[in-house]
Amino acid sequence: MLSSHQQARRQERLDAVLAAAWEIAAESGLGAVTLHDVARRVGLRQPSLYVYVSSKLGLFDAMYARAYGELLARLAALPDSGSARLRLMRIFWVILDFVVSQPPRQQLLFQRTIPGFTPSEPSYALAEKLVEQVTALLAEVGASRPEQVDVYTALIAGLGAQQIANDPGGDRWSRLLEPVLDCILDHCRREDLP
Amino acid sequence: MLSSHQQARRQERLDAVLAAAWEIAAESGLGAVTLHDVARRVGLRQPSLYVYVSSKLGLFDAMYARAYGELLARLAALPDSGSARLRLMRIFWVILDFVVSQPPRQQLLFQRTIPGFTPSEPSYALAEKLVEQVTALLAEVGASRPEQVDVYTALIAGLGAQQIANDPGGDRWSRLLEPVLDCILDHCRREDLP
DNA sequence: GTCTATACTAAGATAGAC
DNA sequence: GTCTATCTTAGTATAGAC
């Protein structure tokens, strides 16, 4: 049985490991993350990492969970004021900024690009929490059908993907979020979808 | 100087190499493509591939060019009949189907997920040809501003990305193409964008 | 919990014979 | 143009001492 002090130290170390891993991903891409490199950055030797993660895929899973945790925290920190539409816009903006400012997040959280990686159940539960939040707000603005929800997730995914792939560092696509969202909210109603 | 016969044989071989590479990508993902595996499938030893490609990145570049060639050929084969809107819809449908039916195409042609890969100039020219075709048709239906073009490319990218990531093999997002496109074409005009 | 040492695997690339 | 042989590099993972 671990003392709470030991647990805290362990958690601290793990946090440092995940921070280092995300740092490498931000600098050189998700594929550039290696256990050797992560270990070096936290002042450990590569085999010592196996105390904190069970394998390379285990590391990715922990990175996944950590990133979702951070995103959910940012959403929770948003003001609760304003119309549902305004709150929805804020949420979408935070999500878009989250992935555009660090593209590997988009790769790990929203795409299927790491061979062999699937989030564990507890990690995936965080993803579902995000969907629930967005779905609830969309219902408030009158987009309650699943097909409507899918349109909005595709919109965010598409703006993010294009921004990252074709104008990294710029805002050519991200700045379209507000006007396009307004237009779709105003004009694409339930009866327009199959 | 090569005889045309020799050139033809060489081209045939190269085609087989690229077909094998795309086959591996379709089966196991773009990251699973290795020179050893490609060579094995075409009945060669790995070092012999260097006669046909200059390096691993050179292989990716050739795969990129070949895939764009195939996509452009499919578009060229589309009927020229019907309204501009109908022709636009056909083009978008072909592009969406092209990537959704083989996700690694999306990864190589439209995302930036291979570390170190950038298409060579002649290969990139093929990508520009595609953009030109789409842009021309969009102008015909009244979407002539660059910002409008960006909205449509984001729409296709987003539907494709979500379809691949969250409903592989299904049509939950791809079937939204027609209704959403109709809605945006009808309601999101030039004056709605920044 | 961290270390050293090492096994294991696998990839890209080059040299030189045929 | 294809081969065999080999270099070089690099990664994940495990064993066992401290």
Per-residue pLDDT at A49 = 98
**Residue A98 reports pLDDT greater than 90:** yes
Q: Which of residues 39-58 of B touch strand C (CB under 7 A)?
A: 46-47, 50, 55-57
**Residue A2 reports pLDDT greater than 80:** no
**Residue B150 reports pLDDT greater than 70:** yes
Per-residue pLDDT at A137 = 97
Nearest Cα residue in chain A from B187: A187
Q: What's the average model confidence in pLDDT over A151-176? A: 98
Residues B126 and B184 in one domain: yes
Alpha helices, DSSP H only, in chain B? Answer: 4-28, 35-41, 56-76, 84-101, 103-105, 121-140, 146-166, 177-187
More confident residue, B126 or A113: B126
- The 3-state DSSP composition of chain A as helix, strand, coil percent (nearest 5) reads 75, 0, 25
Distances from the Cα of A9 to the Cα of A13, A22, A26, A38, angstroms: 6, 20, 26, 18
Per-residue pLDDT at A122 = 98
Q: Is B58 part of a structural domain of the chain?
A: no
Return the closest-CA partner of residue A83 out of A185, A168, A177, A7.
A185
CA B52 / C1′ D4 distance in Å: 19
Q: How many domains does chain B have?
A: 2
Q: Is A137 part of a structural domain of the chain?
A: yes
**CB under 8 Å, gap of 24 or more: what pairs does B50-57 form?**
B52/B10, B52/B13, B52/B14, B52/B17, B53/B17, B57/B116, B57/B117
Q: Is B60 part of a structural domain of the chain?
A: no
Residues A161 and A79 in one domain: yes
Asked if the Cβ of residue A179 lies within 7 A of any atom of strand D, the reply is: no
Partner-chain contact A165 B110, CB within 8 Å: yes
CATH of residue A128: 1.10.357.10
Per-residue pLDDT at A45 = 98
Asked if the Cβ of residue B48 lies within 7 A of any atom of strand D, the reply is: yes
CA B160 / C1′ D16 distance in Å: 51
Q: What's the average model confidence in pLDDT over B116-139? A: 97
**DSSP track, A12-58:** HHHHHHHHHHHHHHHHH-GGG--HHHHHHHTT--GGGGGGT-SSHHH
Residues B48 and B69 in one domain: no
**Residue A100 reports pLDDT greater than 80:** yes
**DSSP track, B47-100:** GGGGGT-SSHHHHHHHHHHHHHHHHHHHHHTS---S-HHHHHHHHHHHHHHHHH
Give contacts of B 10-29 with A, CB under 8 A.
28-29
Q: Is B29 part of a structural domain of the chain?
A: yes
Within 8 A by CB and 6+ apart from A42, the residues are: A13, A16, A17, A20
Residues B117 and B176 in one domain: yes
Asked if the Cβ of residue B6 lies within 7 A of any atom of strand D, the reply is: yes
Asked if the Cβ of residue A41 lies within 7 A of any atom of strand C, the reply is: no
Residues A113 and A164 in one domain: yes
B29 phi-psi bin (left φ>0, alpha ψ -120 to 50, beta other): left
Partner-chain contact B111 A180, CB within 8 Å: no
The average confidence (pLDDT) of chain A is 96
Residues A108 and A47 in one domain: no
Residue type, B30: L
Give contacts of B 31-60 with A, CB under 8 A.
31-32
Residues in A touching B100 (Cβ below 8 Å): none
- Where among A11, A32, A53 does a domain terminate? A53
More confident residue, A46 or A2: A46
Q: What is the DSSP letter of A174?
A: G
What is the sign, positive or negative, of the torsion defined by CA atoms of A69, A74, A75, A77?
A: positive
Q: What's the average model confidence in pLDDT over B8-19? A: 97
Partner-chain contact B165 A110, CB within 8 Å: yes
What whole-number distance in Å separates Cα of residue B96 and Cα of residue B160?
6
Residue whose Cα is closest to the C1' of D14:
A47
Residues A91 and A10 in one domain: no
A140, A84 in Cβ contact below 8 A?
Answer: yes
Q: Is B194 part of a structural domain of the chain?
A: no
Q: What's the average model confidence in pLDDT over B157-165? A: 98
Residues A43 and A139 in one domain: no
A127, A109 in Cβ contact below 8 A?
Answer: yes
Q: Is A96 part of a structural domain of the chain?
A: yes
Residues A112 and A160 in one domain: yes
At residue B129, what are phi and psi to the nearest 5 degrees? -60, -40
Q: Kindly report the nearest CA distance between residue B102 and chain A, in angstroms.
A: 13
Residues A171 and A78 in one domain: yes
Per-residue pLDDT at B3 = 78
CATH of residue A35: 1.10.10
What whole-number distance in Å separates Cα of residue A26 and Cα of residue B72?
34
Residues A31 and A72 in one domain: no
Q: Is A58 part of a structural domain of the chain?
A: no
Q: What's the average model confidence in pLDDT over B35-49? A: 98
**Residue B42 reports pLDDT greater than 70:** yes
Asked if the Cβ of residue A27 lies within 7 A of any atom of strand D, the reply is: no
Q: What angle do CA B59, B61, B66 make, to 5 degrees?
A: 95
Q: Is A167 part of a structural domain of the chain?
A: yes
Name the residue with tokens 């629930």: A132
pTM score, whole prediction:
0.97
Residue whose Cα is closest to the C1' of D5:
B47
Residues A69 and A41 in one domain: no
Q: Residue A8: give the domain boundaries.
A: 1-53
First to last CA, chain B: 56
Per-residue pLDDT at A192 = 82
